[in-house]
Amino acid sequence: MLDKADGQIFSGNVRLIHAVGMHARPAVKLTKLAKKFQAQISVRVEGAAEWINAKSVAKIMAMRAAHGSTIEIKASGGSDAEAAVAALVKLIETDFPDEVS
Amino acid sequence: MQGGAQHLAYRGRTASIGFAHGPFVRVDADTSGERVAGSLVEEALALRKAIDTASGQIAELAAIAGGEAAQILEFQVALLEDEDFIEEIFAAIGEGDAADVAWRSALDAQIADYNSAEDEYLKARSSDLADLRDRVMTILRGGGAEALTIPSGAVVCADDLPPSRFLEIDWSGGGGLALLRGSPTSHVAMLARARGIPMVVQLGAVPEFGATALLDGEGATLELDPNAEQLRLFEKRRDIHRKSRASARAILRRPTALWRGERIKLFINIQGVGDLAHADAQYADGIGLMRTEFLLSEPGGLPDEEAQFAAYDAVLRWAGERPVTIRTFDAGGDKPVPGFTTDGEANPFLGVRGLRLCLARPEIFTVQLRALARAAVRGNLKVMFPMVTSADELEAGRKLFADVVQRLQAEGIAAMLPELGIMVEVPAAALSVNTFKAAFFSIGSNDLAQYVLACDRSNGALAPLMDPLHPAVLELIARTAEHGRRAGVSVSLCGDMASDPRCVPALLNCGLRELSVTTSALAQIKQTIDRLSGGGGLG
């Protein structure tokens, strides 16, 4: 157990089950949720060269993640990096439900 | 068209019916205005201010519009709040670009990127980006109040109109919408129909200026600065339209529709109990088609038995003794469902869809059958299978259903096997209709026509060929109706043809006596049958 989580990188990955892939509605939901966290959060389609800022809707859309692809998530900094990864994994896993608290 | 250059008439396509007579207003985004660029700091401030103003305007619109329109707008707000995206534009200003130049080139790059996508969903988003681009450009050029200057009851004319601009206009005093391009299937056309605003699209070229305009959403015409004769004819058409609507309402309240002394049953097509809020629904003879695919797209994945039972039960309770025909999941084809439909089929319309898919995925299908078997004891339920090719498929479905009923009863749960019927939409089923031991048949004319005519119904280029009144389609409808008559089995038709007054005479002449229509067409179809009955002539 680290007494200070700041330097640590948390990560997770999740399969995108949304019917049409990462489109406007899911992209908006994902960035909105990401912005609730202090941590720096990046995502990429599994194996892609570049990590993308999870708080940028334009970049998430440009990622063109297709239905069935796996999304990798990593977060660091702030005190909420671990929670951020868990929340984003859950959002994608549950197919972007309408109520996300 | 007679008359001088001042009395011009233009023809387009109907997107929303109705009539409007009012001042003519062009609202094209003004892209010719020039801005005088200031210093780097002034330019950055101007853009920051324009973005804030745009953000506020869009949020306000979303709050007023709600629902689907709000979701369309939410993406635009998210983009304005995207720091990475906005920072790049400020960086361009820092390098000497004027605010409007930097903004336009960033948005144009995004739009080009979306347009180059293979993916239709992404392409469709480019019009939302163009909407956002023009909104901020207008604010930067000192416009922005333009929308408010549209007088009440105006005939608004534009090249195309994004949904957000439509929502900004105050339609409470009536008015109409005339678009030079546009499409009857666009978001803005949906909004116009919901508001009852007449709308004509694809008018081509229309002069920039005019004082008054007449918009006829039925004849799909726009007349500019009409003379007395044009005005008189327009008012006459409007009057006929109003009277016809009033008489349709009166006919709607009659208990039954009669054609040459025979009773014609009129049912409605619905998705769920919410659609029954329509004021005309109560006059239907029952539900001819309840679709269930919407249950598959709700958040949280595939629906469980309880959620489905509740959805079916609510409709049965509304219907009382009237029949309710529920169609089992019709997924696949143009309706993909993650976790259910088959990915990567080369030709999904000829693939594993409808009953084929349900039989291939019994673990999903039996949940629906359980919910239906339980609902069957609650009212006058009939169940039909979609996309059936051979009698063996019907029997396989019936066996699954019977097993489900048996298991439920063994568990001590009230359940029964409802009447089972099939959709007739595969030409093979129509041609061998006498091989099916079905309690009823419902003709799905949209798919039937698509398969018989070998025309993808979503392909606009084939629209002239996609004629549901083609003799081959009518022949199959007549055969099915004839079989029903001989075997004493009910045959109805639930495709778009039933809701189209131009198709109704042919359907009655094919021998059909039951039609299932969209609720908003119920009054008009009942009136059409009444007229055909009175007039005779169309024998």
> Which CATH number is A80's domain given?
3.30.1340.10
Going from the C-alpha of B529 to that of each of B16, B248, B476, B495, the distances in angstroms are 23, 11, 22, 17
Contact (CB<8Å) A31/B78: yes
Q: Which of A5, A11, A13, A23 is catalytic?
A: A23
Flag whether A1 is in a domain.
no
In chain A, what residues touch B297 (CB-CB under 8 Å)? 19
Neighbour-count burial for B272-283, b at 16+ CB within 10 Å, e otherwise: ebebbeeebbeb
Give the ipTM: 0.86
Chain A hits for B82, CB-CB cut-off 8 Å, are: 31, 55-59
Listing DSSP states for B250-309 in one string gives HHHTSS-EEETTEEEEEEEEESSGGGGGSTTGGGSSSEEEE--GGGGGSTTSS--HHHHH
Q: Which residues share a beta bridge with A6?
A: none
Determine, yes or no, domain membership for A98: no
Nearest to B79 among A53, A58, A64 (CB): A58
Residues of B in contact with A58 (CB under 8 A): 79, 82, 84-85, 110
Nearest CA in chain A to B82: A56
Please list every residue in chain A whose beta carbon sits closer than 8 Å to the beta carbon of residue B122.
Answer: 23, 61, 64
Look at residue A84 and tell me if it is in a domain.
yes
Q: What burial letters (b/e) apply to B512-537, b meaning 16+ CB within 10 Å?
A: bbbbbbbbebbbbbbbbbbbbbeeee
Choose the closest CB to A24 out of B117, B125, B336. B125
How many structural domains compose chain A? 1
The set of residues, in sequence order, having a beta carbon less than 8 Å from that of B283 and lying 6+ positions away, is B252, B253, B522, B523, B526
Residue B149 one-letter amino acid: T
d(CA B28, CA B156): 10
Rounded Cα distance, B492 and B484, in Å: 10
Q: How close A73 gets to chain B, by Cα (Å)?
A: 18
For chain B, what is the mean pLDDT?
87
**For B453-473, how does the pLDDT look when each residue is reduced to its tens digit (9 = 90+)?**
999 877 777 878 889 999 999
- Does B297 touch chain A if contact means CB atoms closer than 8 Å? yes
In a domain? residue A31:
yes
Domain that holds residue A80: 9-93
Question: How far apart are the C-alpha atoms of B135 and B53, rounded to whole Å?
Answer: 10
Predicted pLDDT at B471: 97
Q: Is residue A25 part of a domain?
A: yes
pLDDT at B420 over 70: yes
Integer Cα distance of B524 and B242 in angstroms: 12
Marked catalytic residue, from B157, B187, B358, B483 = B187
Render pLDDT for B10-19 as a digit per residue (tens, 0 to 9).
Answer: 988 888 888 9
Task: For residue B534, name the pLDDT band (cuts at 50, 70, 90).
Answer: confident
Residue A100 placed within a domain: no
DSSP B34: -
Residue A57 counted as domain residue: yes
Q: Has residue A37 been placed in a domain? A: yes
A23 part of the active site: yes
Q: Among the options B157, B494, B503, B510, which is catalytic?
A: B494
Supply the pLDDT for residue B33. Answer: 56
In chain B, which residue's Cα lies nearest the Cα of A20?
B121
If you average pLDDT over residues A49-64, what whole number do you get? 90
pLDDT tens figures, B332-386: 887 788 889 888 888 989 999 999 999 999 999 999 999 999 999 999 999 999 9
Contact A87, A54 (CB under 8 A): no
